[in-house]
Amino acid sequence: MVNLLEVLGVEIGPRRKGTPEASRAAEAVAAAFGELGLDARFQEFPFVGYEVEEPELELDGGPVAAGPCEYAQSTGPEGVTGALRPYGSLPGLVPGDSSLIWSIEDDAGRVLALVYENPVVASGGAIPFLSFYGPLVTGPSCFVVRGHPALRDGVRARLRSGGSFVHGLTERNVLATLPGESDEAVVVCAHYDSVWRGPGVIDNATGVEAVRRVAERLVGRTHPRTVVFAAWAAEEIGLVGSRWFVQDAKHRGEIDRYVGVVNLDCVAHGEKLMLMAAPPALLDRATSEAKRLGLDARYELQTVVPGGGTDHVPFVEAKVPGMSILHFPYPEYHLPTETLALVDEQKLEDSVELAVALVESQLAEPVARISSRWG
């Protein structure tokens, strides 16, 4: 059987949305499903891409490593120059964490650009990341390591950032169906794209390989409900592939067919075993299964309702019970150093075991559909 960790993370490497590498990744995932006897299909959708430029940041006259902000407006070739000022903060992806935002301001106090400290990992580097305002309203921006000594109030700062919008692009979700005794379906999923210059071994070749292994254990058996295996495109620019799938299902009047979602993202390296889910009944079930498997003794367990930033979220917003399994955070996140050497096979297999248990549980007896905001 193909190992998607090696195919996606090593043979293909960085696979940003809309690139030939992303297309190769989709074909590889479809072939892996085919090896299991599943008929894979592609769900194609259009989107406006963005060709990022490498940012240049200078603080107090010296260069500082910076990662690009997806869809940031261009400063032009000369960049913008001003005084660095404390601007605010934003919640980190890890519950209870936060990071600082700095502005570059002119003499009149007008904000010319924003500099985000790493919003994900305190010990991480200058990562590429997505915009927090959306493509239409993101000004010049970049990301830097958290706590860099040159980040001080009043320091002279210069930033050149930007890129260009690319129209007429398409991407493809990869879908494979294992028919059950009912048309009601549980979705098992992961995203297959990666970020600028990042080989994406952990984020998220591990998740796609985990989905393949879950499928390997479920095929050839009879199930009371259908299973849909999905590999999402363009997750790194705002969960675009999974959002397309959910919106399309709503348009077609099919969203009520889906009774549960198990998403796998970054599942073979990281500090904590994180379970994000809604409604609380699904999170309770996931926690119970993790404890039954002894995972609470092996890892620090962190649970979040509803969780964010992963592909279960569009389903939860559509009232479908959904959850994500992660091992998170880790300092190599979104960086070129995220290589195959980081993969912890025990963590990967534990994630697969937990996912299989939760899928089988939802196939047998789904939790009630979400009725209020998350309840």
Amino acid 374: pLDDT: 62
Q: By C-alpha distance, which of 336, 181, 362 is closest to 263?
A: 362
CATH code at 210? 3.40.630.10
Residue 375 has pLDDT above 80, yes or no: no
Task: Indicate the residue among 139, 161, 183 that finishes a domain.
Answer: 161
Of 133, 161, 189, the residue that ends a domain is 161
The answer to the question of residue 26 being in a domain is yes
Q: Is 40 helix (H, G, I), strand (E, B) or coil?
A: strand
Q: What is the mean pLDDT of residues 105-121?
A: 97
Same domain assignment for residues 185 and 83: no
- Check whether residue 132 and residue 175 sit in a common domain: no
When pLDDT is cut at 50, 70 and 90, the band that residue 1 belongs to is: confident
Q: Please check whether residue 372 lies inside any domain of the structure.
A: no
Shared-domain flag, residues 154 and 205: no
Burial of 171 (0-12, 13-18, 19+ CB in 10 A): buried
Q: How many domains does the chain have?
A: 2
Can you count the helices (H) and strands (E) in the chain?
Answer: 8, 16
Instruction: Report the Cα 140 to chain-centroid distance in Å.
Output: 23
Do residue 176 and residue 124 come from a single domain? Answer: no
Q: Which two tokens stand for residue 4?
A: 């998607």
Residue 370 belongs to some domain of the structure:
no
Q: Which pTM value belongs to this model?
A: 0.96
- In the numeric block, the tokens 């404390």 are attached to 86
Residue with tokens 């000594």: 149
Mean per-residue pLDDT for 93-106? 91
Give CA–CA dist 89/72, Å, rounded: 18
C-alpha closest to that of 347 among 177, 169, 206: 206
41 and 128: one domain? no
* 129 and 45 within one domain: no
- Extract the tokens encoding 297: 């003794």
In this prediction, residues 95-115 reach a mean pLDDT of 95
Does residue 82 belong to any structural domain of this protein?
yes
Give the span between the Cα atoms of 231 and 176, in whole angstroms.
Answer: 9
Domain that holds residue 22: 4-51+168-364
Classified as helix, coil or strand, 347 is helix
Based on the fold, state whether residues 228 and 253 are members of the same structural domain: yes
| Residue 373 included in any domain | no
203 and 335: one domain?
yes
Tell me what the pLDDT averaged over the chain comes to. 96
pLDDT of res. 271: 87
Confidence band of 288 (pLDDT split at 50, 70, 90): very high
Give the chain's largest Cα–Cα span. Answer: 69
Residues 94, 239: one domain?
no
C-beta of residue 267 within 8 angstroms of C-beta of residue 214: no
Distance of CA 169 to the CA centre of its chain: 20
Question: Does residue 375 sit within a domain?
Answer: no
Same domain, 332 and 211: yes
Based on the fold, state whether residues 138 and 277 are members of the same structural domain.
no
Tokens matching residue 121: 């990992």
- Tell me what pLDDT residue 193 has: 98
Instruction: From 123, 139, 161, give the residue that closes a domain.
Output: 161
Instruction: Check the CA dihedral 353-28-317-307 and report its sign.
Output: positive
Q: How confident is the model over 244-282, as pLDDT tens digits?
A: 999 999 999 999 999 999 999 999 999 899 999 999 999
Would you say residue 30 lies in a domain? yes
Alpha helices for 130-269 (secondary structure H): 207-218, 240-251
Q: Please state, in angstroms and rounded to a whole number, the distance separating the CA atoms of residues 106 and 112.
A: 7
Query: Do the Cβ atoms of 360 and 302 come closer than 8 Å?
Result: no
Joined tokens for residue 341: 């050497």
Same domain for 239 and 109: no
Question: Is residue 145, in this structure, part of any structural domain at all?
Answer: yes
Tens-digit pLDDT profile for residues 128-141? 999 999 888 999 99
Q: Which residues partner with 49 through β-bridges?
A: 166
